[in-house]
Chain A
Amino acid sequence: MAADVHNKKVAWETQNGSLAPVGKLRAERSDSPTPGLVEGTEPGAGQDDAMFVHTRSFEDLTADGEEGEDTDPSGPASGLGTPLGDREQPEAEPVGPEEEQAPEAPAGGRAEEEDVTSEAWRGRRKHVFVLSEAGKPIYSRYGTEEALSSTMGVMMALVSFVEAGKNVIRSIHADGYKVVFLRKSPLVLVGVAHTRQSERELTRELLYIYYQIVSLLTLTQLNHIFQRKQNYDLRRLLAGSEHLTDNLLKLLDRDPGLLLCAVSCLPLPSSTRDVISSSLQAAKSKSLVFSILLAGNQLVTLVRKKDQYLHHMDLHLLFNLVGSSSSFREGEGWTPICLPKFNTAGFFHAHISYLEPASDLCLILVSTDREDFFNLSDCKQRFLERLRRRSAYPALQEATRSPSYPVSQVGIPELRHFVYKSKSSGLYTSPELPAPYQTEEEQERLMGLYQYLHSRVHHTTRPLRSIYHCGERENLLAWVTSGFELYLCFSPLGTKAQAVMAINKLLKWIRKEEDRLFILSPQTY
């Protein structure tokens, strides 16, 4: 196994730029719609330092996947794409609230109908393939890699063919499908989707998959393996972890947090949360870097070493690891894990355990020392001891029984659902999904709509401040300022005027509830 993090002194300094460039505020793109509501003062903004790496914006995050190149789809790739039928139409869009009519259905709709007649395999919304640079299959979302190895071979041939001409394939648009390539040496990732997502968003999803693999092996080890043996079969090392990637892809389709680069918190009275945070803070150990308490896929609290920040992506990878492995329910887990946005070269060692066997509350203690198991186990005991002494545990348990809230609490009748992200804290809040969106398909459809709006407001060349989308089954509004991002879903009977009015009412409500919905005073050891 590659070196542990603590062996690499560099890790603590500037690796990956993940040690929070805190002061660096992003150039503001537009004025806030609510006067006085700028980044750092929006509802949900933390009082002190942020907990996370200051992700300046979605743009920063995706730049990583794009290796600093331009993302113009009419670049070298579309030379290849056009003959196959490029359907992305450049549209001129006004900045500001903008209306769309329902059956606009770009790309996706038609392809879906066509696919009814084709094999189920081809009909899947999104395929993901991972291969080595030698063209060896490593992962396929559907079907076995063996069955697909010839397909992967073709993809690799395509990639190398274009690269030989000093071009890089980014994407191919054909027949309602987008084929997106992400080359992160020594791996090549390919996404084939007929969703409404932009190429950029698909690339970001591939990037997640890439980091998922790195988190198991470290980039150092990956490079080492392929330097020694170019046609190494990486499936040997990834065996038994495919479900992590499967699950991550599911999260990407369903969890707004991965879309927004944000994390949601378990609603909890702030007094209770403070007790939990300080108990966790007190249960420290020299090697501890992060102490994270989760309730399902929500954050209860996070305590970090001073000057060390966790990146959302790394936290989502931890969520995914815990969420897709029931093995931590038995006893205490102790595993090496690389947090790639922190440092791709080394392993941390995570002590993972549930507070009680049947509970949703899971404690993750991230350490730099692989010999430190018993110390961390002891930290957990001390944490529990404090919780018990200060009688915070019943309140915490109570909160896990209602991990979300109905949208009706907000008091806006037409409002069905929303997602609100405070940019400075990197936290978001969202009510439980109401009746029409409770099936998996409907949940993914709603997420698809949010993804679509997200890609529109974050368009590379024509970003929008807001967008109103009228559909047959619901109307949506997205609103982005320097301080927050807000996506709302209304009943189809509501009007645009009502929707715009709802924003202020909702912001007021979130402000009133922010103590409960967000972590306002993050702790360090």
Chain B
Amino acid sequence: TMTERKESKRRKESSAHTPAERRTLRVKMVLLGSSGVGKSSLAFRFSKEEFSSTVPTVGCAYMTHLVCLHDATLRFEIWDTAGQEKYHSVTPLYYRGAQAALVVYDITKRESFMRAQLWLRELERQYVPGETVVALVGNKGDLSDLRQVMLQEGQTLAENKGLLFTETSAKSGSKVSELLMTIAHRIRQSTTPESTLEEWKDSCVDLHSPETQRKQGTCCMAELH
């Protein structure tokens, strides 16, 4: 079942009965793709299980999200970049050193698919293959009437390059949490966390007393689906 927890509660728990059982590992994940393909909407889905209207991202938005696996908690540090061309030159800042990269396109816009291929090429230049988990994501799956990019095209491209692939809909939520879980597992498998993933120490501050009103996204998505 979905457990919605308050952030402070989560923190208290983690400090109360952690140290031995559970480690929290940092995972840097970046979202790349043209403006308007739905990167922010996906990021919002990851953490809030909601779809709400968005505006173009300015620069970059940073947020964190916890995913609990059976043997560890992954703390996704998500860099939701702006697709607007004027911000391209700062984007390397965000994908440098990332353990996961989502290259997103909009299935109703062929141009965004072309752009996704450019992002993939740029990533390839930066990375030794296998070090970063890269997923190609065709978003807006709910708009299949307007589809300009066939499912097959995305699949083939991903296969050729050895990437994860899925079509999602940030609007309906379809395949979004599955995507995140797949990435989480892949990161756990393909890396030796001890060497590549840093451990994360909680040092956040709450504005109010410990019984904060703030809600955080859901933890333990593994149990969700």
Instruction: Give chain A's interface residues, CB within 8 Å of chain B.
Output: 1, 216-217, 236-241, 243, 321, 325-328, 330-337, 350, 355-357, 370-371, 373, 377, 381-382, 384-385, 387-388, 393
Contact = CB atoms under 8 A, between A and B. Distances in A.
Q: Which 9 A-B pairs have the closest CB atoms?
A: A335-B59, A331-B63, A1-B89, A240-B56, A240-B84, A385-B205, A384-B205, A332-B62, A237-B86
B59 A334 contact: yes
Contacts of B80: 330-331
Contacts of A370: 90, 93
A355 B205 contact: no
B114 interface: no
A327 B203 contact: no
Contacts of B89: 1
Given A327-B55, A334-B59, 5 more contacts: A334-B61, A334-B62, A350-B59, A356-B214, A393-B208
Interface string B172-213: 000000000000000000000000000000011111100000
27 contacts: A1-B86, A1-B87, A216-B86, A239-B84, A239-B85, A240-B84, A241-B84, A325-B56, A326-B55, A327-B54, A327-B58, A328-B58, A330-B43, A330-B61, A330-B63, A331-B43, A331-B80, A332-B62, A333-B60, A334-B60, A336-B87, A355-B207, A356-B214, A384-B205, A384-B206, A388-B208, A393-B207
B44 interface: yes
B90 A333 contact: no
A333 B207 contact: no
B40 interface: yes
Contacts of B205: 381-382, 384-385, 388
A335 B58 contact: yes
Contacts of B55: 243, 325-327
Interface of B: 35, 40, 43-44, 54-64, 78, 80, 82-87, 89-90, 93, 203-208, 214
Nearest to A351: B62
Contacts of A240: 35, 56, 82-84
A327 B206 contact: no
A366 to B, nearest CB: 13
A370 B57 CA distance: 17
Contacts of A326: 54-55
Contacts of A333: 58-62
Given A332-B63, A333-B61, A327 B90 contact: no
A216 B203 CA distance: 34
A381 B204 contact: yes
Contacts of A357: 214
Contacts of A325: 55-56, 58
B114 to A, nearest CB: 15
A327 B56 contact: yes
A389 to B, nearest CB: 10
Contact of B61 (A332, A355, A385): A332
B86 A217 contact: yes
Contacts of B44: 330
Contact of B57 (A327, A356, A371): A327
B91 to A, nearest CB: 10
Nearest to B203: A381
Contacts of B84: 239-241
Contacts of B86: 1, 216-217, 237-238, 241
Contacts of B206: 384, 388
Nearest to A1: B89
A321 B84 CA distance: 15
Contacts of A238: 86
B195 to A, nearest CB: 21
Contacts of A335: 58-60, 82, 87
Contacts of B90: 1, 336, 370
A240 B63 CA distance: 22
Given A237-B85, A325-B55, A356 B207 contact: yes
A385 B203 CA distance: 10
A384 B43 contact: no
Nearest to B59: A335
B203 A331 contact: no
Nearest to B57: A327
A485 to B, nearest CB: 33
B63 A336 contact: no
A329 to B, nearest CB: 9
A330 B93 contact: no
A24 B27 CA distance: 53
B53 to A, nearest CB: 8
A357 B7 CA distance: 13
Contacts of B58: 321, 325, 327-328, 333, 335
Nearest to B61: A331
A334 B30 CA distance: 14
Contacts of A331: 43, 61-64, 78, 80
Contacts of A1: 86-87, 89-90
Nearest to A396: B207
A216 to B, nearest CB: 6
Contact of B207 (A327, A334, A377, A384): A384
Query: Of A1, A240, A381, which is in contact with the most chain B CB atoms at under 10 Å from its CB?
Result: A240
A327 B93 contact: no
A332 B62 CA distance: 5
A240 B84 CA distance: 7
A477 B85 CA distance: 48
Contacts of A381: 203-205
A400 to B, nearest CB: 13
A341 B200 CA distance: 40
A522 to B, nearest CB: 24
A387 B203 contact: no
A371 B93 contact: yes
A332 B82 CA distance: 13
A397 to B, nearest CB: 9
A371 B94 CA distance: 10
B188 to A, nearest CB: 24
Contacts of B208: 388, 393
Nearest to A378: B203
Given A333-B61, A388-B206, A327 B85 contact: no
Contacts of A241: 56, 84, 86
Nearest to B44: A330
A344 to B, nearest CB: 16
B207 A239 contact: no
A336 B81 CA distance: 12
Contact of A330 (B40, B56, B204, B214): B40
